[in-house]
Amino acid sequence: MIGIKRWALPVLVACFIVVSVIEVWLLTWVGTRIGIPWTIAILIAEAVLGAWLLQREGRKAWAALWDALSLGRMPSGQLADAALVLVGGILLILPGFLTDVFGLIFLVPATRPYARRVLGVFLARQSAMSSGSRNGSTSAFHTGTVIDGETVDDPGAPATKPPTATNPQGELPG
């Protein structure tokens, strides 16, 4: 986990810089092709669309999350949808064309399942890499050590052996 923290911040900063440079280049390119007023109008329309989609899809994601919780199910998909809706709305509200593409992918119900799958694969790989770096193996459970034991429901209760043909009550001898 410590290894991830060392490189995560520089990579995140580099990504922000690269995305910012691409956004400025795209805005300049589009502005020279269609004009500054039209470019600004498109950016304002995308921000309004993003705010509207964020509100609409956010309500749906929140309702699905509460439905899952009220039924006692683990809301993993609903949590991922809520996170994608939030990030997608923010990306659409921010000025820029590249962020708007990702914002739409995260917000539109038809493309969100694909984004959720990609996010799941990415997080699973990160989890596997971090558990492998902790103990030198690919999983935290493959250490080669086996510990025998038994499960006890009530630590205060006296130990009993399981019932057998010779001991039908499951009592300890003696």
Reported as a pLDDT band with limits 50, 70 and 90, residue 22 is: very high
Residue 166 clears pLDDT 90, i.e. is over it? no
pLDDT at 174: 54
Rg, the chain, Cα only: 27
pLDDT tens-digit series, residues 94-144: 888 999 999 989 988 899 889 888 888 887 777 776 665 555 544 445 556
Residue 1 clears pLDDT 50, i.e. is over it? no
Residue 65 clears pLDDT 80, i.e. is over it? yes
pLDDT at 58: 86
Q: What is the mean pLDDT of the chain?
A: 79
